[in-house]
Amino acid sequence: MHPPAADTVLLRHGDLNTKSNTVKRYMVDLLLENLEAILEDRAVPGTVVHDWNRPRVDVASGADVAPVAEAASDVFGIVSASPAITVPPELEAICAALAETARETYHEGTFAVDASRADKRVPFTSEDVARVGGQAVWDAVEDRFDPGVDLDDPDHTFGVEVRDEAAYVFYERVPGPGGLPLRSQAPMVALVSGGIDSPVAAYEMMRRGSPVIPVYVSLGEYGGPDHEARAIETVRTLARYAPNTNLDVYRVPGGDTVSLLAETMEEGRMLSLRRFFYRIGERIAETTGASGVVTGEAIGQKSSQTAQNLAVTSRATTLPIHRPLLTWDKHEVVERAREIDTFADSTINAGCNRVAPDRAETNAVYERLLQVEPDDLLERAVAAAAAAERVPV
């Protein structure tokens, strides 16, 4: 719920406030540029105002602020967004807006008024706003029920920010993803299978500011059209969070090598397959200027992802392999996949399950793996990467 007649959406950023002024200015500009792109992509009208510490999106008189807050809550770097009423920085106007908001949003339970004052020149303090504003809220609802004040853990919190040119009264905080603005960090190659884990891992790297270059390795007869379509669709969902960033997928033909591993290897098959994927990712990173490879692996989630096996497979590349889900439990990954809307497209049965051997390798030895895998495995990966095709999303 938001205040009636709300005419703006206040935006909050977190980690940006720990940066130097120069870096912060650069990142805030990126954040607002990304916000403008999402608003345009979703046809949500609003004017982005580049305020230093509290940027906002103003809307036309009578327009609905809810779509603006919803769009802003998908922008990396934004911690929360609050639809607000803009009033003069005067106690009387603030109290009137609080009373109006309370009549629409406050129907039971306890409340508090949380006020802040950026401009110390105004002739009242934050405590004054909380005290007088709290009385205004009480007076607005006492004829309907008995309100209660709880300054420690209220059921309802009314917010007020007083700045030099205006004051803003709000009721809700729509949570955002936090993190850093997209494109504030170097790009990464993201290996996407279309399973639950890999798109979440890609999202998490995007949330920390790195654009991703999605790479899907075709499994040939062990995958198929449904397997590929699932991967492409999850990337298409991720692209909604980054409409001003190219997320076209590099589709790499890997069917011949996958068949070779399935036919000739029992011991260590899945580890060699991972090494094949990593080298493909490394090669595409070299050609695109990416700084690392991202995977959805987590310690112990699968037999190929034990700590020992990750150490062995990681030696296929000299680039860093980033595993943002390394310590996550599966239920945490599933929850995040549902939140970002990739879960439904990730739950088609994966073709790669058919590649797995009957006996899993959980404690591989690097030298032994090199003895049993095809001698030209990594050369095959380089050749496959060279044959990659771009699939638009």
- Angle at the Cα of 209 (from 207 to 213), degrees rounded to 5? 90
Q: How far is CA 210 from CA 117, 183, 186, 319, in A?
A: 35, 6, 5, 16
Instruction: Report pLDDT for 347.
Output: 74
The burial class, CB within 10 Å (0-12 / 13-18 / 19+), for 267 is middle
Alpha-carbon distance 391 to 393, whole Å? 7
Residue-range domain boundaries for the chain: 8-175, 188-391
The closest alpha carbon to 354, from 221, 265, 226, belongs to 221
Q: State whether CATH 3.30.950.10 applies to domain 188-391.
A: no
pLDDT by residue, tens only, the chain of 393 residues = 778 889 999 999 988 888 999 999 999 999 999 999 999 999 999 999 988 778 999 998 888 999 999 999 999 999 999 999 999 999 999 999 999 999 999 999 999 999 999 878 888 999 999 999 999 999 999 999 999 999 999 999 999 999 988 999 999 999 999 999 999 999 999 999 978 999 999 999 999 999 999 999 999 988 877 889 999 999 999 999 999 999 999 999 999 999 999 999 988 999 999 999 999 999 999 999 999 999 999 999 998 899 999 999 999 999 999 999 999 999 999 999 999 999 988 876 554 556 777 677 788 899 999 999 999 999 999 999 999 999 999
Instruction: Report pLDDT for 66.
Output: 94
Collapse the DSSP code of 215 into the 3-class scheme (helix H, G, I; strand E, B; otherwise coil) and give the result: strand
CB burial string 30-39: b at 16+ within 10 A, e below = bbbebbbbbb
The closest alpha carbon to 381, from 330, 325, 326, 316, belongs to 316
Alpha-carbon distance 309 to 306, whole Å? 5
Instruction: Report pLDDT for 87.
Output: 96
Instruction: Report pLDDT for 358.
Output: 64
Looking at domain 8-175, which CATH architecture does it have? 2-Layer Sandwich (3.30)
Instruction: Report pLDDT for 356.
Output: 72
